[in-house]
């Protein structure tokens, strides 16, 4: 059975340089591509996650929520990041539902607890039941409560790592604005065809974070966390590719991806 974790990047579905601005036309097209691809997918489970883009990242940067929540002002910031993340997730949920996808939302803030920015516990049973019912769970980058530092932020990759402990994926598709992982960002003249675990220590220093506010580390963290999942799940394969080109997402879901492959070897 295929179990696909699909991430729609915040830079793809929002304008990260304009606060709280969703790219509605792109979200609609991506939904249509998912509909087309899933018609032909058999024996496959799909979990969709999305980044916060210009919704969650801006207040998160202002209040430094990723680093802990200690004061009354910090908690106001925590709540604002939650509101923004929820607002974008609701937009995605509504559009995907209108396109006929059986989406059901699982906000990480309601199901994940952290300890010092790491997963402490989560209850997978409702999400597993949703998959068994034929639904597509929707998760997103979100605030989570933290027993050591009050609260923090889990990126979509952090959430995927949490899910993988009980629902190990066979594939991770990271659909963003970049055609793959560039070895020379921001010049962007050379895409890496493949990154293996053995290359992790040499590749990560070459990568940069993000050209827009991104409190969860941008491309560096995306690659690092994905390679961590591959290390614990050796048969896992991941692709980083662009969703800006029509058809790329549908092709990736159909087993014909382009971009940068992340794999054990």
Residue 99 — pLDDT band, cuts 50, 70, 90? very high
Contacts of residue 160, Cβ cutoff 8 Å, sequence gap at least 6: 5, 7, 49, 169, 172, 225, 229
In the chain, what are the domains? 2-263 (3.40.1160.10)
* Predicted confidence (pLDDT) at residue 212 exceeds the cutoff of 90: no
Mean pLDDT of the chain: 93
Least confident of 120-124, 133-137, 221-225: 221-225
* Predicted confidence (pLDDT) at residue 90 exceeds the cutoff of 70: yes
Cα–Cα distances in angstroms (integers) from residue 12 to residues 32, 197, 245, in the given order: 15, 27, 11
Q: What does the DSSP 8-state code read for residue 69? A: -
Separation of alpha carbons 95 and 138, rounded Å: 12
pLDDT tens profile 18-41: 999 999 999 999 999 999 999 989
Cα–Cα distances in angstroms (integers) from residue 144 to residues 38, 44, 234, 236, 241, in the given order: 31, 29, 28, 26, 28
Tell me the sheet residues that pair with 160: none
Separation of alpha carbons 236 and 233, rounded Å: 6
18 backbone dihedrals φ, ψ, rounded to 5°:
-130, 120
Contacts of residue 11, Cβ cutoff 8 Å, sequence gap at least 6: 51, 53, 176, 177, 210, 212
83 backbone dihedrals φ, ψ, rounded to 5°:
-60, -45
pTM: 0.93
Q: By CB neighbour count within 10 A (0-12 exposed, 13-18 middle, 19+ buried), where does 31 fall?
A: buried
- Is the CB of residue 29 less than 8 Å from the CB of residue 7? no
Contacts of residue 55, Cβ cutoff 8 Å, sequence gap at least 6: 10, 14, 19, 20, 22, 84, 85, 87, 88
């Amino acid at each position: 059975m295929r179990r696909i974790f699909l991430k729609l990047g915040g830079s793809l579905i929002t304008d990260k340089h304009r606060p709280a601005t969703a790219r509605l036309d792109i979200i609609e097209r991506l939904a249509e591509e998912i509909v087309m691809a899933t018609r032909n997918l058999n024996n496959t489970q799909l979990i969709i996650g999305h980044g916060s883009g210009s919704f969650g990242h801006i207040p998160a940067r202002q209040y430094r929520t990723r680093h802990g929540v200690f004061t009354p002002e910090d908690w106001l910031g925590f709540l604002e990041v939650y509101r923004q993340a929820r607002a974008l997730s609701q937009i995605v949920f509504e559009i995907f539902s209108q396109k006929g996808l059986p989406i059901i939302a699982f906000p990480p803030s309601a199901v994940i607890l952290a300890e010092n920015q790491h997963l402490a516990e989560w209850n997978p049973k409702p999400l597993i039941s949703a998959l068994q019912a034929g639904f597509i769970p929707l998760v997103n980058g979100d605030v989570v409560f933290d027993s050591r530092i009050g609260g923090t932020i889990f990126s979509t990759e952090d959430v995927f790592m949490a899910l993988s402990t009980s629902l190990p994926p066979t594939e991770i598709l990271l659909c963003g604005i970049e055609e793959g992982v560039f070895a020379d960002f921001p010049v962007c003249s050379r895409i890496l065809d493949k990154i293996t675990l053995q290359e992790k220590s040499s590749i990560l220093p070459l990568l940069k974070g993000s050209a827009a506010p991104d409190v969860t580390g941008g491309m560096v963290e995306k690659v690092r966390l994905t390679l961590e999942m591959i290390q614990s799940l050796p048969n896992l394969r991941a692709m980083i590719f662009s969703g800006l080109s029509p058809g790329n997402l549908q092709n990736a879901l159909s087993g014909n991806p382009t971009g940068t492959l992340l794999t054990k070897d």
